[in-house]
Structure 1
Amino acid sequence: MAQVHVQPEAVNGGTSNGMSEDSGGFKLKFCTVCASNNNRSMESHLRLAAANYPVISFGTGSLVRLPGPSITQPNVYQFNKTSYDSMYRELEAKDPRLYRANGILNMLGRNRDVKWGPERWQDWQPGVPRLEHNTDRGSEGVEGGVVDVVITCEERCWDAVVDDLLNRGSPLNRPVHVINVDIKDNHEEALIGGRGILDLADSLNKAAAEARDMNPSGFDSGNAASRANFDERVPEIIGEWQERWPNLPAVWTLAWF
């Protein structure tokens, strides 16, 4: 897999306000990934869904870990088996003052309005229909279980995704761009990162729509030749985006489902 580290060249912050109007037409399909599928990936999931992008999200950790009363006492849950609502109710019953003050209840309240619960990347089967997720925000367009772009929020998550894709052996023979946007795992940085990711999605989607016009059916089916024009432009698009968001260092590779 080709790998490009994109270095920031500007010193000012991003100029996008993170808002996007639905212009209709073609939309790339996105997947957002962080460690526990709770903070960074879910903020980005919500922003992309609100901008009418098809989107799913995952975590790459072995377990879902949320802050507890001390650094040695995290709250630990299982992926795919624990809902955001049940986490919310459990922590609210344990110590409502603590979990309101540290923003965990607000985060979980947001999450339960997006989808049922945290999912683990390694348990996902690309290409398998996700019909049971039809009430998730951003579910329209990703029912078939494939995406065009995976955006991780931490380099170890990017490593986990890329390694997992390599180990799967590309059974679908379908290209996917895997981009890491490094975001510190706190609520404030997740908000900034979500705006940056939406801006990146808009830039990628504009280029993809232009490339797709040449062969819509080939592009939509994931045909590598039909996507070559778009695939070749992605590093340049990320470089231009990085100038707008120098505090969100990015790493990119082209991988395969």
Structure 2
Amino acid sequence: MSNISDLRIAVICSSNMNRSMEAHAFLAKKGFLVQSFGTGDKVKIPGSAADKPNIYDFGISYDEIYHDLLGKDKSLYTQNGLLHTLDRNRRIKTHPERFQETDEKFDILITCEERVYDQVVEYMESKTPVDNSIVHVINIDIQDNLEEATIGAFLISDMCLMLAKAEDLDNDIEEVLHNFEEKCQRPILHSIVFN
């Protein structure tokens, strides 16, 4: 299958578990060149209580997390959708990846919450640019639950289709994002950083 556009897109949330992976799956199915990442220090997912999250290092495989949760409480993690989420994730790639550890270059970085957006912009501004190519960092706030992740993936997919149709992305992006913001009724943040 040929790619819908040659834009290199990264979708980024905190743990590379739910929101970024749902959007990754959507965009990949549509034929986009997409990868996904987290910006957190650790992969944190819900546990048996709000103050008892499951915490893993980046680099652990989705398969290992799946089996760990299965052993801890199969019924809880089936009921809250985490086993289903991990099953989807391991069909897309092997393990959660941390954005600050990749050498890949992207045209568009899409973040799923303002805190992650700030971390991405700060990180990009702190590193020495390689070739000074423009990178657009775009944020759309998506709550970290399964239903919102699905809605968010639809929105991100719509936005990427609009961006892919732009004749000159660097010149047209403000207008495209303004139109998208009006359509989806969610505030969008946008910054330009350099590779």
Aligned 1:62-81 pairs, distance under 5 A: 62-80=41-59
1:237 corresponds to:
176
CA distance in 2, matches of 1:60, 1:104: 20
TM (norm. structure 1) is 0.73
> AA paired with 2:163?
L
For the pair 1:249 / 2:174, whether they are aligned, the reply is no
Secondary structure of 1:33's counterpart equals strand
Q: How far apart are residue 26 of structure 1 and its match?
A: 3.5
Deviation digits for residues 140-196 of structure 1, max 9, x if unmatched?
Answer: xxxxx3211000000010000000011002123111100001100100000000000
- Displacement of 1:23: 8.0
Contact 2:42–2:56 (8 Å) recurs in 1: yes
2-structure distance, mates of 1:181, 1:154:
6
Any idea what SS the aligned residue of 1:113 has?
helix
Q: Distance in 2 between matches of 1:251 and 1:107?
A: 27
Residue identity opposite 2:56 in structure 1? Y
| The one of 38, 50, 62 aligned to 2:17 | 38
Output the aligned Cα RMSD. Answer: 1.3
Q: SS at 1:176's partner residue? A: strand
How far 1:27 moved relative to its partner?
2.8
Give the secondary structure class of the aligned counterpart of 2:52. coil
Counterpart selection for 1:206 from 149, 165, 170: 165
Q: Which runs of 4+ in 1 moved over 3 A?
A: 22-26
Structure 2: give runs of 5+ residues left out of the alignment.
none
Contact 2:2 2:31 in 1 (8 A): no
Match of 2:135 among 176, 184, 205: 176
In the alignment, is the contact (CA less than 8 A) between 2:37 and 2:97 conserved in 1? Answer: yes
Describe the shift of the 1:244–1:112 C-alpha distance in structure 2 as closer, same or farther (beyond 3 A): same
CA distance in 1, matches of 2:180, 2:150: 17
The AA in structure 2 aligned to 1:97 is S
Give the counterpart of 1:160 among 86, 106, 119: 119
Matched, 1:27 2:6: yes
The equivalent of 2:76 in structure 1 is 98
1:25 deviates by 5.9
What secondary structure is seen at the aligned counterpart in 2 of 1:95? helix
In the TM superposition, residue 95 of structure 1 has moved relative to its aligned partner by: 0.4
Q: Which amino acid aligns with 2:174?
A: P
Kept in 1, the 8 Å contact 2:3–2:33? The answer is no
Q: 1:35-61, CA deviations, whole angstroms, 9 ceiling, x for partnerless residues?
A: 000000000011010001001111000
Amino acid at match of 1:112: R
2:132 and 2:194 in contact (8 A); partners too:
yes
Q: 1:24 to 1:54 in 2, by over 3 A?
A: closer
**1:54 and 2:2 matched:** no
**Alpha-carbon distance in 2 for matches of 1:45, 1:53:** 9
